């Protein structure tokens, strides 16, 4: 960490900063410039806040030289992280396609959707059973019954299931069912939840918060990794800006930036990132062209009857078209859609 003193800092203020650095177990390196004095704080600083020094008298600013995250950083882990999800692999050359409804609404709805997206080329199934709804009066999910329906869908189609967890109190129940825990945008900084997931050994799909910076997303991943769970997938899902023509603004820049900063797999959610079924395919193609490792897409057999997110859900036939387009882009990028892990149950 580099501490830049004010031009008029006194020798005592400088000495005070040096003492402060030593007290925190770091080495201090003093450099007397013409305009100002610079003090380097040398050692393990990724776990320190710049504020530790910013508050000291005579300090003008503090610059971080090393990143505040470590386990998530490509500096310390140059190779891509590749890990298996129940049969196929994520983070390598293969593109993962997760698809399914926003909410599990009924047994028939999730089974119908599962078979349709599997047929179209998806390799994992999503579906919410605990729903974070802005209004306390909205449908809040089927709970455990929903998990049972998802498990049945997995058995029939061979696809692993991806389900959102909202609270660490749901952890024990969900551990019995889910293959991948999804952490939603609103919970990206629910640190208690992140810590609890770090204790598990299940893959976590971590969505970027509505107004979280890329660095904050990586810091949240660090919470999970610090617990020993190395299987974290990052997901760009649009950020909140002044533009109202779409539900969110897809931060497509985040794809190459994240691939540069971290070894973790990075996927994109074009459904939330746009909020309109009409724009999902274009943004799905863009994501793969920009270097994303996969997509998570909302698909519903009858969007007009969906209890949530119908406006941004693709009908299965539209999803199938999207998969074809994405496949063609993937090939140009020298990649392919990951195959489904387990065999399909015949005779459904």
Pairing of strands 266-268, 232-236: parallel
Closer CB to its own copies, 58 or 91, in the complex: 58
CA distance 186 to 166: 9
Closer CB to its own copies, 109 or 157, in the complex: 109
DSSP classification of residue 124: E
Q: Which of 246, 320, 321, 335 binds its own copies (CB under 8 A)?
A: 246
Report 79-138 residues binding its own copies (CB under 8 A).
132-138
* Site size for its own copies (CB under 8 A): 102
Closer CB to its own copies, 155 or 201, in the complex: 201
CB of 338 vs its own copies, minimal distance in Å: 20
CB of 244 vs its own copies, minimal distance in Å: 7
Q: Which of 116, 117, 252, 267 binds its own copies (CB under 8 A)?
A: 252
Report 200-219 residues binding its own copies (CB under 8 A).
210-211, 213-216, 219
DSSP classification of residue 25: T
CB of 98 vs its own copies, minimal distance in Å: 20
CB of 66 vs its own copies, minimal distance in Å: 8
Closest CA to 280 of 337, 322, 244: 322
Report 135-164 residues binding its own copies (CB under 8 A).
135-138
100: left (phi > 0), else alpha (psi -120 to 50), else beta?
left
Are 306 and 293 contacting, i.e. CB atoms less than 8 angstroms apart?
no
Report 289-348 residues binding its own copies (CB under 8 A).
289-291, 303-304, 306, 308-311, 325, 328-329, 331-332
Closer CB to its own copies, 191 or 348, in the complex: 191
Residue bearing tokens 């969900």 = 174
Closer CB to its own copies, 256 or 339, in the complex: 256
Beta bridge partners of residue 2, listed in sequence order: 40, 63
From 52-60, 115-123, 146-154, 174-182, give the range in contact with its own copies by CB under 8 A. 52-60
Number of other CB atoms surrounding residue 145 within 10 Å = 13
Closer CB to its own copies, 78 or 347, in the complex: 78
Phi, psi dihedral angles at 252 (to 5 degrees) = -65, -30
Closer CB to its own copies, 18 or 344, in the complex: 18
Radius of gyration of the chain from its Cα atoms, rounded to whole angstroms: 23
CA distance 285 to 265: 17
- Two tokens at 39? 């003090």
Report 254-293 residues binding its own copies (CB under 8 A).
254-257, 260, 273-274, 278-279, 282-283, 285-291
- Two tokens at 314? 């693709």
- Two tokens at 307? 């209890």
CA distance 271 to 282: 11
Q: Which of 11, 78, 172, 244 binds its own copies (CB under 8 A)?
A: 244
CB of 31 vs its own copies, minimal distance in Å: 4
10 touches its own copies (CB under 8 A): no
Are 94 and 335 contacting, i.e. CB atoms less than 8 angstroms apart?
yes
């Amino acid at each position: 960490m580099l501490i830049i003193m004010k031009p008029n800092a006194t020798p005592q203020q400088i000495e005070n900063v040096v003492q402060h650095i030593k007290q925190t177990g770091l080495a201090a390196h003093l450099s007397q410039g013409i305009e100002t004095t610079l003090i380097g704080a040398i050692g393990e600083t990724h776990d320190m806040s710049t504020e530790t020094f910013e508050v000291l008298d005579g300090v003008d600013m503090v610059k971080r030289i090393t990143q505040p995250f470590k386990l998530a950083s490509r500096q310390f882990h140059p190779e891509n992280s590749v890990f298996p999800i129940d049969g196929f692999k994520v983070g390598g050359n293969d593109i993962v396609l997760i698809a399914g409804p926003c909410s599990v609404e009924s047994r028939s709805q999730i089974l119908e959707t599962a078979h349709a997206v599997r047929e179209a080329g998806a390799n994992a199934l999503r579906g919410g059973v605990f729903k974070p709804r802005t209004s306390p009066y909205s449908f809040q999910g089927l709970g455990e019954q929903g998990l049972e329906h998802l498990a049945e869908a997995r058995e029939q189609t061979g696809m692993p299931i991806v389900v959102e967890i909202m609270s660490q109190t749901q952890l024990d129940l969900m551990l019995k069912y889910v293959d991948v825990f999804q952490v939603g945008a609103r919970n990206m900084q629910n640190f208690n939840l992140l810590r609890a997931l770090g204790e598990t050994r299940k893959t976590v799909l971590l969505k970027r918060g509505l107004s979280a910076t890329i660095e904050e997303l990586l810091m949240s991943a660090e919470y999970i990794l610090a617990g020993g769970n190395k299987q974290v997938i990052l997901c760009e899902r649009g950020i909140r800006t002044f533009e109202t023509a779409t539900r969110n603004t897809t931060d497509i820049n985040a794809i190459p930036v994240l691939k540069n900063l971290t070894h973790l797999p990075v996927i994109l959610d074009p459904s939330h990132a746009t909020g309109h079924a009409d724009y999902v395919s274009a943004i799905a193609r863009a994501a793969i062209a920009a270097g994303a490792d996969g997509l998570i897409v909302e698909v519903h057999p009858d969007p007009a009857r969906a209890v949530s997110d119908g406006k941004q859900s693709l009908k299965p036939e539209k999803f199938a078209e999207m998969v074809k387009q994405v496949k063609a882009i993937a090939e140009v990028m020298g990649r392919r859609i990951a195959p489904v892990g387990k065999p399909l149950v015949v005779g459904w």
